[in-house]
Homo-oligomer: A and B are copies of this chain.
Amino acid sequence: MIGTEIHQFAQELWPINRSITGSGVRETLKKISKKLPSLKIKSVQSGTKVFDWTVPQEWNVKKAYIVTPDGKKICDFSENNLHLVGYSAPFEGEISLDELKEHLHTIPEQPNAIPYITSYYEKRWGFCTTQEHFDNLKNGTYKVVIDSTFSQGELNYGEILISGKSDKEIFLSTYICHPSMANNELSGPTVVTFIAKWLKEVGKTNYSYRIIFIPETIGSISYLSLNYKDMKNKIFAGFNVTCVGDERAYSYIPSRNGKTMSDLIAKHVLKWTDKNFVKYSWLDRGSDERQYCAPGIDLPIASILRTKFGAYPEYHTSLDDLKNVVTANGLNGGYWAIRKAIEAIENNKIYKTTILCEPHMSKRGLYPTISKKKSTSGQIRLMMNLISLCDGKSSLLEIAEILNVPIWDLYEIIKKLESQKLINVSNL
């Protein structure tokens, strides 16, 4: 099961302190490039204008912790990188518990969870801890140490291009900016890494593939500001990949358009993977589809997910881990949903019968020579129905929808009919 390998890779990436910039991002990309040697690690300088935004300074952390009045070290960043508010400014000083509390973040309704908090665009500092821990803090003087730096540096991302027969591209995007969290985020880059590995191994595909590993929001905005005109010309379909690692659900978020090839494929694959899959609306979006489908950008990008960000209790807390939330099984399901979607896009062509009226199938050994009641059920019926719909106009996906079968049930029949020269194929 490929899910096991993916889970191992996620464990390897777990301890790294990722943020939207900094050494954690570079370290993550280096580990991915071990599996994908052709991955290119790229950069955008701090201060660069990207549409309405400015790429922020690089943030790096050496150490960060608090010492209690009893001399105990708590909220230690080296133990759990969620303890420090992302982009915390440097600070060192002794303060009272009351003063400290103004910088402490908890989730009262999830007393054993450390929340994930960031402040990318306004300088402040803070620590995150569990409500249970917070409630036991005693009065006295606390020592705070945050040894972090802001510097002119770069925002980094990884990119890989796999060329196919056509210049038209399938686009996959995933993000690498969250510290130690599993479904949102490590499921995304790890599944995409293994999808990219498979695409490299499978040999010449019909479409080309553009795959990026970026920090969320500022990363996709930066990437788009550099590439969107080219992307609008080339990208035929694509998916933003996140939250593909737990076992609780399969879900779909539409593109803004809602009717692109990516949407049709995602809904088809998910329907035949889990008939109870969750259909979200554009209003439920929250990740980089916000940028890819923004007005004027309008790329055909949908999302195939397991349980969506914000829709599970452990989201954006220390509880979103590789034990209780993300599993090898969960990742396996996420991988195969994305892969089946890609395979469906690759196979979704236009077929046309070469013969007027039904072909004489029995003379080709593809049909019984004796005619009895109910002699043409099952696969034979499916084949005859498929032929009857190969009109040179409908796509295989449309035909599968009419036949009410998964598109992958038709790949073998199509091959047989093509080899018998009963149908011709053309691209979409």
Contact = CB atoms under 8 A, between A and B. Distances in A.
Given A283-B403, A295-B388, A315 B373 contact: yes
B51 A357 contact: yes
Contacts of A353: 294-296
Given A122-B370, A392-B295, A356 B224 contact: yes
A390 interface: yes
A342 interface: no
B283 A122 contact: no
Interface stretch (A28-36, A112-120, A162-170): A112-120
Copies in the complex: 3
B290 A358 contact: yes
Interface in A240-285: 256, 282-283, 285
Contact of A291 (B352, B357, B363, B371): B357
Contact of A228 (B122, B356, B385, B389): B356
Given A115-B372, A373-B315, A121 B357 contact: no
A417 interface: no
A291 B369 contact: no
Interface in A347-378: 352-353, 355-360, 362-363, 369-374
Nearest to A105: B372
A360 B225 CA distance: 14
Interface string A297-317: 110000000000010000111
Please classify how large the interface on chain A is, using the bins under 10, 10 to 19, 20 to 34, 35 or more.
35 or more
Given A357-B224, A360-B52, A119 B370 contact: yes
Contact of A297 (B317, B356, B371, B392): B356
A124 interface: yes
A53 interface: yes
A160 to B, nearest CB: 23
Interface string A207-220: 00000000001001
A74 interface: no
Contacts of A295: 352-353, 388-392
A275 to B, nearest CB: 20
**Most B C-beta atoms less than 10 A away, residue of A51, A290, A371:** A371
A360 B119 contact: no
A107 interface: yes
Given A107-B373, A371-B117, A360 B296 contact: no
B356 A119 contact: no
A340 to B, nearest CB: 24
A362 B123 CA distance: 13
Contacts of A285: 388
A25 interface: no
Contact of A121 (B120, B122, B355, B362): B362
Nearest to A390: B295
A221 interface: yes
Contacts of A385: 283
A118 to B, nearest CB: 5
A359 B117 contact: no
A75 to B, nearest CB: 17
Given A225-B357, A294-B357, A296-B391, 13 more contacts: A85-B370, A119-B370, A120-B371, A121-B369, A221-B357, A282-B402, A283-B403, A291-B357, A296-B353, A297-B357, A298-B391, A310-B373, A315-B373
Interface of A: 51-53, 85, 105, 107, 115-122, 124, 217, 220-221, 224-225, 228, 256, 282-283, 285, 290-291, 293-298, 310, 315-317, 352-353, 355-360, 362-363, 369-374, 385, 388-392, 402-403
25 contacts: A51-B356, A52-B355, A52-B356, A52-B358, A85-B370, A105-B372, A107-B373, A119-B370, A119-B371, A122-B362, A122-B369, A124-B370, A217-B358, A220-B357, A225-B356, A256-B391, A282-B402, A283-B385, A290-B388, A294-B357, A295-B353, A296-B353, A296-B356, A296-B391, A315-B373
The 3 A-B residue pairs whose C-beta atoms are closest, nearest first, are A122-B369, A295-B391, A316-B373
